[in-house]
Amino acid sequence: MQQYKEATINQNQTNLLFFLFSIWSFFVLCRPQDYLSFLILIRPTLTLGLLTLFVYFLNTNSTHKIFKSSQFKLYMLLIIIMIIGVPFSYYKSASLKDVFNYASVSIMFFLLFYQLANTIEKLRSLLFAYCCGAAIYAIYILKFGSFLEERISFGSMFDPNDIAFFIINFLTFNLIFINKENTGLKRIIGITNVILGLTVILKTGSRGGFVACIAVFAYLAFVKTRTVNMSFFKKAIIITIAFISLLPLTMNTERYKTILDVQSDYNVTDETGRIAIWKIGMRMMISNPFTGVGMNRFNEGVGRDREQRGLPSAKWQAPHNSMVQIGAETGVLGLLLFCLMSYKVFNITGQAIRKSRSEELIRISEMARAGFLGHLVCAMFLGQAYSVYWIFYIVLSAELHRMLQMEQV
């Protein structure tokens, strides 16, 4: 009887801990505080994060298990490289603050997600919550966003390109819940979420988001999956109908046309355009191969580079490419670690798809692989190297790898 009571208490504590993490991670990833301004007063990401971490350490002694994850060990090595680079930063105190703020949240997210989202059911519930969170944000964007120069924007957290990047990260997971094995309501929500997501992405005028959508849908069309279990012909018809139905939307079609004519686009060929910025980033990495120029110091590095070439230095610009950004700011080793962890997402999901005996694990892995493809394509046009959404995919792959290993024991 005593053992039964203790088991019940432990289960209740576990449920409470997962509930707290679910709410905190929802604030971290889906950011309801951006459109519900009263939440800013309680600083939910900080207060809920500390509360969740406190309860976690009171109720578990299993933190050592995370060091078995190769993804976590690689990520910690990346953090160490960032710290080592602080004394060599273009702005030491700012980089130190940025590294501390980034590492404290991302490591906590990695730890708690890895330890607490440890069953298929919990993973499904989190993914469904994140999909709905992204859709709710999309509704607020559509209803209250401003439409300047035929590009929708909302609030101060995300610009139009960031909005597209945010939405694309959770778009494919909705397909898990559209499957006929789900309830009717959940299927309707999943379909609605996809429509809302695509609508917002197209209205942002983000070329990176548009190319990412094309890449994701091409992948889903040509690759056979259990989640979207239909012929290529049927997939092609559905995708075509979906895009045609969204054509009447008010959006900046002229921006999308430049994708086919990049040479005439000043944003690519000008001195302040993308290619010029990427070249500056490569020069920064070559000049500082071991330490980089410091976390979040890319913009200043652009100004210094132009000053050295006798050009106006006031025009500090973002990297517009995550790989260029992390290579310039953390050096060659930081770039290699970023690429290795990203590669392992595809490798781990591929293993799970081929080897898992669990239908649900396979489906989550399939949509994680498709979603991460969209993430990377979009990130090649944005400075999102330190994005929490990248961390989300890294830790999700680590969790999928652990579940696959448990199956094979």
Domain ranges of the chain: 1-61, 62-407
**Ordered alpha helix ranges (H), 157-273:** 160-171, 174-178, 184-204, 207-222, 232-246, 253-257, 266-269
Burial environment of residue 1 by CB neighbours within 10 A (0 to 12, 13 to 18, 19 or more):
exposed
The residue-averaged pLDDT of 245-253 equals: 63
Task: Please tell me the distance from the alpha carbon of residue 3 to that of residue 13, in angstroms, as a whole number.
Answer: 15
Task: Give the 3-state secondary structure of residue 148.
Answer: strand
User: Residue 13 has which token pair?
Assistant: 């504590």
Task: Please tell me the distance from the alpha carbon of residue 209 to that of residue 94, in angstroms, as a whole number.
Answer: 30
pLDDT, tens only, 314-329: 667 888 899 999 999 9
pLDDT, tens only, 227-247: 888 777 777 777 777 767 666
pLDDT of the residue at 272: 74
Contacts of 147 (CB under 8 A, 6+ apart): 203, 250
This prediction has a pTM of 0.93
Write the DSSP assignment of 347-395 as a string of letters: HHHHHHHHH-S-HHHHHHHHHHHHHHHHHHHHHTTS--TT-HHHHHHHH
Check if the beta carbon of residue 208 is closer than 8 Å to that of residue 380.
yes
Task: Give the 3-state secondary structure of residue 201.
Answer: helix
Range in 34-43, 130-139, 210-219, 354-363 the model is least confident about: 34-43
The residue type of 55 is V
